[in-house]
Structure 1
Amino acid sequence: MLKVPAVSMQDNSGFLDEMIKEEWVAKRVSHPQLLAGVGETFSRSCFYVVLTYCPGISMRQWRDDNGAPDLMVLRDWATQVAGALTALHRQGILHQDIRPENVLVGDNNTLTLIDYGAASISGHNFLMASEQLFIPGDLLFAAPEYFVGLWPDERAEQFSLAVLLYYLLSGEYPYDAGVAKKTSYSALLKLRYISLNQRNVSVPAWLDATIKRACHPQATKRYESLSEFVYDLHHPNPAYGRTLPLMERHPVRVWQGISGILAITVIVLLVLLFDAP
């Protein structure tokens, strides 16, 4: 597969650097779930990059066509993406653009993580300019660290993966668009996770709690590693065994019930009032 820059971008050195970086990462890191590069046996007479052709549809298109995946598929996909990210992290690379468009679904639900244009290599290219903080990728999937000026690490990718899983299950985001609106660390503390049960997504409470921890606004409160996150997706963590309060599971029904009780109380009081001598 050949990628060439658009005519309007041919003089944009930053964009060309990103293209070269994508090919470099594809050649440097090998993993079944990563888009691979191609060994060169030819000379180039113009600017382009070469990557392996990967058939499949985007994960977003898959969800549009099929709806939410079942939990078995979700766990398998989480394991595949985590494996690909771990291979990158071992080489000092952060992908930084984990979103449904950048994950291809192939035969037998085999995934391929693509698009390394936003990747950072040992922190390089994190800053576009000395005076401007660069927030890579899709803002709805980016970790809060990027928005408040904290240096990201592998736990930022854990956040993005957790948001991806949440999106696959619900079609929504755990903080809606709230993360992108925060510009200070104190503001992060005000973010409140929206339970999957509140989205009317029927999942075990422990699975919801697992995703909640992995996308916690504070990186220090997430899992220490992607492998721990994936393990808890497959094995109920006793710490998350409690059942969520009814108000958190079905807030609309609770308020409907309260309103019904109040209405009945008012009717009874009115009957007693008019029947009184």
Structure 2
Amino acid sequence: MLKAPPARASRRHAYAVTAYVEGATLEQWAHQQQETDLVAVRSIVKQIASGLQALHRREIVHRDLRPANVIIDGEGTATIIDFGSAQVAGLDEIAGPVSDAMFAGTMQFTAPEIWLGQPATRWSDLWSLGAMAYYMLTRELPYGPRLSNATTRAAQGRLVYVPASERNPDVPAWVDAAIARAVAVDPAKRYGELSEFIHDLTHPNTALFAPEQRPWLARRPERLWQAISALLALALAASLLTREGQADRPQPSKIQTEETAR
């Protein structure tokens, strides 16, 4: 998490000095990735979860967890920043109304229950972390852009999770299943602990999914077209070689042809 140096004197101003963190936002990092790197994604999610666990032990909910509020440095270290929307237990009088959690910016990473006007909980942070994991793997959102308009239970009941593996075939089904549980619309259907989510991101939990026996073609449709293209290229090359061989072959002379005819 973002660190702040200890105060050298009594505070008289409504601002704080924090350490400078060099790097790119998680949003920038995700768009810079050319290939799916599950190891890197797991590492980042685990680091963010560790920071959230430290906050939750102090009864603090971040409430504003999104790609723009995480910095990734050159060594892959993740740092959570911006605690302006954090909710501290026992300080409701200064925490602001629930509507304050609907901050300007990328609100699609806000947990569904907050859109219903319910207070944020540590399961809300879990949802945001799951949505960020989904975003890193697909550059998309688990429920598309419709979540921010789903401000009633009925509307949220119509939301449909789009499997990450459909948007990115490189995402294993069991990783997708773990993310799907983390971003469940109903908080009661999510993981009870962040540690459970992290475990299922690294160890297949067969209780969440049935091992899929999809045909190879369904999992790798692009490989079919690559194979077809390769076969067509080979066929074309063989055809050209055959024609060249026929052109180089000596043609029988007219005399030989007449003698053969006799």
**TM-score normalised according to structure 2 size:** 0.74
Match of 1:102 in 2: 69
Q: How do residues 1-277 of structure 1 correspond to structure 2 at under 5 angstroms?
A: 34-42=1-9, 48-67=15-34, 69-122=36-89, 124=92, 125=94, 127-128=96-97, 133-137=99-103, 138-239=106-207, 240-243=209-212
Q: CA deviation at 1:47?
A: 5.2
Structure 1: gaps (5+ residues):
1-33, 254-277
On the 8 A contact 2:36/2:170 being kept in 1, the answer is: no
Distance 1:87 1:133, change over 3 A: same
RMSD across aligned positions (CA): 2.4
Aligned counterparts of 1:196 and 1:212: Cα–Cα separation in 2? 9
**Which entry has the higher C-alpha Rg, 1 or 2?**
2
| Cα deviation 1:212-252 (Å, max 9, x = unaligned) | 01000000000001000000001000122421777xx67x9
Distance 1:44 1:221, change over 3 A: closer
| Cα deviation 1:230-277 (Å, max 9, x = unaligned) | 00001000122421777xx67x99xxxxxxxxxxxxxxxxxxxxxxxx
Letter aligned with residue 60 of structure 1: E
On the 8 A contact 1:94/1:121 being kept in 2, the answer is: yes
| Cα deviation 1:88-134 (Å, max 9, x = unaligned) | 01111111111111111113211111100111111735543xxx733
Distance 1:43 1:89, change over 3 A: closer
Q: CA deviation at 1:66?
A: 2.6
Q: CA deviation at 1:42?
A: 4.2
Letter aligned with residue 70 of structure 2: V
Letter aligned with residue 203 of structure 1: V
Match of 1:3 in 2: none
Aligned counterparts of 1:134 and 1:112: Cα–Cα separation in 2? 23
Aligned counterparts of 1:178 and 1:209: Cα–Cα separation in 2? 21
Aligned counterparts of 1:114 and 1:214: Cα–Cα separation in 2? 22
Letter aligned with residue 135 of structure 1: A
- Aligned-partner SS, 1:60: helix
Letter aligned with residue 61 of structure 1: Q
Q: CA deviation at 1:64?
A: 2.5
**TM-score normalised according to structure 1 size:** 0.70
- Aligned-partner SS, 1:180: helix
On the 8 A contact 1:169/1:201 being kept in 2, the answer is: no
Aligned length: 214
Aligned counterparts of 1:153 and 1:60: Cα–Cα separation in 2? 24
Distance 1:96 1:244, change over 3 A: farther
Aligned counterparts of 2:185 and 2:6: Cα–Cα separation in 1? 41
- Aligned-partner SS, 1:74: helix
Distance 1:107 1:184, change over 3 A: same
On the 8 A contact 2:63/2:120 being kept in 1, the answer is: no
Higher mean displacement: 66-75 or 112-121: 66-75
Q: CA deviation at 1:69?
A: 4.6
Query: Identity over the aligned pairs, expressed in percent?
Result: 34
